[in-house]
Chain A
Amino acid sequence: AQTVTQSQPEMSVQEAETVTLSCTYDTSENNYYLFWYKQPPSRQMILVIRQEAYKQQNATENRFSVNFQKAAKSFSLKISDSQLGDTAMYFCAFMNLHSGGGADGLTFGKGTHLIIQP
């Protein structure tokens, strides 16, 4: 079974700063996806960024980028020029590529509460 660990329960930074959220995972699989989801106070889960394990290039989406270290099983999220609207819970998630969903699909970490201070 896969496990996802987020070791930072809460982080707080000033607006416009850069912040990095850490995530490690454990799996014996070779083909998988990794995700970061954002859950604002409205509680809706929003996909922030996705990384395919077979791709060496780190995924980027505007101010969001990842540092994917496959050998170390590490998948950190970097948020540049942080904004007040980035305040939310951030969940790292893992999915076994071949399962197509289900119990071997999305496995979530416990989340990191990110607070952006004005």
Chain B
Amino acid sequence: NAGVMQNPRHLVRRRGQEARLRCSPMKGHSHVYWYRQLPEEGLKFMVYLQKENIIDESGMPKERFSAEFPKEGPSILRIQQVVRGDSAAYFCASSPRTRANTGELFFGEGSRLTVL
């Protein structure tokens, strides 16, 4: 059973470009979470999605950032007009519906975004 898959692992963008990060949850998992990790920091919650629904996006900046988890395909975290401050590691995690309230999240290996 494959784990949470994130791609790309590394992404380099120039200021003003768009970044798209993808996350395929573990098989059978319907809950996806995105976290951002700045250097020397812990993970900060961004958004929580179920299939086709955004449940909580209170941790996501109001501008330039968006997330989706369509019925088919991976979850996408999209950052428009990137700035240097967006440089970070972005982690996706998933959990199965039946254990959604246990806090047991399964993390991907992260996508490291570098903005030049």
Which residues of A approach B to under 8 Å, CB–CB?
Answer: 4, 33, 35, 37, 42-47, 50, 91, 93, 95, 97-98, 100-103, 105-111
> Knowing A35-B103, A95-B103 touch, does A105 contact B109 (C-beta < 8 A)?
no
On whether the beta carbons of A105 and B102 are closer than 8 Å, the reply is: no
B107 within 8 A of A: yes
B48 within 8 A of A: yes
Stretch of B14-22, B38-46, B66-74, B76-84 contacting A (4+ beta carbons < 8 Å): B38-46
- Residues B47-101 near A (CB distance < 8 A): 48, 55-56, 58-59, 89, 91, 93, 95, 100-101
On whether the beta carbons of B91 and A45 are closer than 8 Å, the reply is: yes
Candidates B41, B45, B107, B110; contact of A105 at CB < 8 Å: B45
How many B residues touch A, CB cutoff 8 Å? 29
On whether the beta carbons of A101 and B33 are closer than 8 Å, the reply is: yes
On whether the beta carbons of A91 and B42 are closer than 8 Å, the reply is: yes
On whether the beta carbons of A108 and B43 are closer than 8 Å, the reply is: yes
Chain A positions within 8 Å of B91 at CB level:
45
On whether the beta carbons of A91 and B43 are closer than 8 Å, the reply is: yes
Instruction: For the complex, give the distance between the alpha carbons of A110 and B55 in Å.
Output: 25
On whether the beta carbons of B42 and A109 are closer than 8 Å, the reply is: yes
Chain B positions within 8 Å of A110 at CB level:
40-42
